[in-house]
Structure 1
Amino acid sequence: MLHDLHRVLSTYWQQFLFVLPKLLLALVLLAVAITIANRLSRVLGTRLRSRAHDPLLADFLTGISRWALWLLGLLLAMQVIGLSGVVTGMLSAAGLSAFVVGFAFKDIAENFLAGMILAFNRPFHLNDTVQIRDQTGHVEALNLRTTVIRTFDGKHVFLPNSIVLKEPLINFTRNGDLRQDFLISVNYGPEGTYEQVRDLILTFLNGLPDLHHDSPRAPYLVLEKSTDTTADVRLYFWSSSEEYRRGALETKSEVMQKVKNLLLDKGYAPPTLAQ
């Protein structure tokens, strides 16, 4: 038994020594391929960013090219070792492999394909403010599997690309402008009229520098409910949304407070504000 064990181990050792030069050459080739892939992908990414002016698309294509070059290096290394039959079998059985891999890694494949679609035809750019489901924040990255969003409170949300592609997506900053509104209830008393309140508020809104004043984005009011002495008025106005938090949210807050102070200064009863 010991003799047979020694004979088997000797055979394996001889085979290992025979394969060792090819194995070392394959490892060197794989290392060189990885190095070249990393450098080429960096060069490609730099050129794409300078010409396409789209960092998200450039980063996504750079990641795909890096993975493709790594796979090519792995296949070449397997050829050097003598696993050409395995490589040929892998390529010839691509249909079956695609089915098995696609079934086993359905979510990964789905997110990858969704990422491909989003990279070439997507509804957002880098630093756009978007809302997907109940998540709102700035787009920071588009990876092979996930889209990264940074919320206003500093949290990073990694959303699968398939969800980003399938779910309704609201982009607050794509056009650079955003219309906002709020409701204000005014008690102008028996001596006042709704027309006086309307003209007063419109004149004030048209004097605010942070709002748009040219048609069709000039401020306007809509009377939603009225009595002899009160009026529920909804104010509509356009402002910049390139920086959503500052250009939209804070601007709306400032407009609401200024309109309220205006009515108080003119002697009207304390108005009620609502979204």
Structure 2
Amino acid sequence: MIQDFHRVLSAYWQQFLFLLPKLLIAIVLLVAAVSIANRVSTLLGGRLRRRSHDPLLPNFLAQLSKWAMVLLGLMVALNILGFTGVVGSLIGAAGVSAFIVGFAFKDIAENFLAGVILAFNRPFHINDTVQIKDLIGHVEGLNLRTTLMRTFDGKHIFLPNSMVLKEPLINYTRDGNLRQDFLVSVELGPDVTPDVAINLILQYLRTISDIQQAPREPYVNLEKATPTTADLRVYFWADSEDYRRGVLQLKSRIMQEVKQELLGAGLGVPGLGQ
């Protein structure tokens, strides 16, 4: 038994020595392929970013090219080691392999394909403010599996690409313009009608440089009136490049200043809200 065991070990050792040069070449080739893939990915990403104002697609294509070159290097390394049949099976049985891989790694494949669609369709750009379900924040990146979003309170959320593709997506900053509105209640009197309050509000809004004017002029609608009060809905357009500061903080400031403007004109303001 000891002789048989020694003979088996000797046979395996001889096979290992015979395979060792090929193994070393394959390892060197694979390391070189990874190094070249990283280098090419960096160069390709840099060239694409210089030609595009939006880094979203260049970053995604750079990642895609990197992994494609690594996969090619792995297949060549397997071929050097004598696993020609394995490589041939991977290429020749692509349909069966795709089915097996797709079934076993359904979520990974789904997120990858969704990432490709998002990269080319581009429903958002880097730093756009978007809302997906109840999540809202700035888009910071897109990779092969996830979309990175940073919320206004500083949290980083990694969303599966398939979710981003399937769910309704609201882009607040795509065209740079966003309409905001709020409700203000005004007390009526013998000399105070809804038209008087509306004119006061519009006169004030036309003096605010941060509010867009023609062709997107601010306007005020009468939503509800009682014998003593009138509910006025105030609408204005703002630059949405920075949604949180350019829109939300502007809206808060306008609400307070409209109230002070009405109070300064002697009008009662019992209510102010969204």
1:172-191, Cα deviation, whole Å (9 max, x unpaired): 10011110000111003233
Q: What does 1:162-241 correspond to in 2, within 5 Å?
A: 162-215=162-215, 217-241=216-240
Let me know the Cα RMSD of the aligned residues.
Answer: 0.9
CA distance in 2, matches of 1:154, 1:184: 32
User: Mean Cα displacement is larger for which, 222-231 or 133-142?
Assistant: 222-231
Deviation at 1:80, TM superposition (A): 1.0
Counterpart residue number, 2:244: 245
Q: Residue by residue, what CA displacement relative to the aligned partner does 1:3-41 show, whole Å, maximum 9, x if unpaired?
A: 000000000000000000110111111111111111111
Q: Secondary structure in 1 aligned to 2:130?
A: strand
Q: C-alpha displacement at 1:229, in angstroms?
A: 3.2
Structure 1 counterpart of 2:76: 76
State the alpha-carbon separation in 2 of the partners of residues 120 and 223 from structure 1. 44
The 2-side partners of 1:90 and 1:186 are apart by 74
SS in 2 for 1:233: strand
> For residues 137-148 of structure 1, what are the structure 2 equivalents within 5 Å?
137-148=137-148
Q: Is the 8 A contact 2:139 2:150 kept in 1?
A: yes
Counterpart residue type for residue 251 of structure 1 = L
The residue aligned with 1:108 is 108
Q: In structure 1, what residue type is equivalent to 2:76?
A: L
Match of 2:39 in 1: 39
What's 1:29 paired with? 29
Amino acid across the alignment from 1:262: E
Equivalent residues of 2:184, 2:269 under 8 A apart: no
**1:264 and 2:263 are equivalent in the alignment:** yes
Q: Does the 8 A contact of 1:263 with 1:271 survive in 2? A: no
1:10 aligns with 2:10: yes
Output the CA distance in 1 between the equivalents of 2:53 and 2:268.
Answer: 53
Q: Is residue 190–residue 229 contact of structure 1 (8 Å, CA) maintained in 2?
A: no
Q: Is this contact kept in 2: 1:75–1:87, CA < 8 A?
A: yes
- Provide TM-score, normalisation by structure 1: 0.98
For the residue of structure 1 that corresponds to 2:184, the secondary structure is: strand
Q: Percent identity, aligned pairs only?
A: 64
What are structure 2's unaligned runs of at least 5 residues?
none
CA distance in 1, matches of 2:141, 2:170: 17
SS class of match (2:98)? helix
- 4+ residue segments displaced more than 6 Å: none
Distance 1:77 1:119 in 2: 31
Partner of 1:123: 123
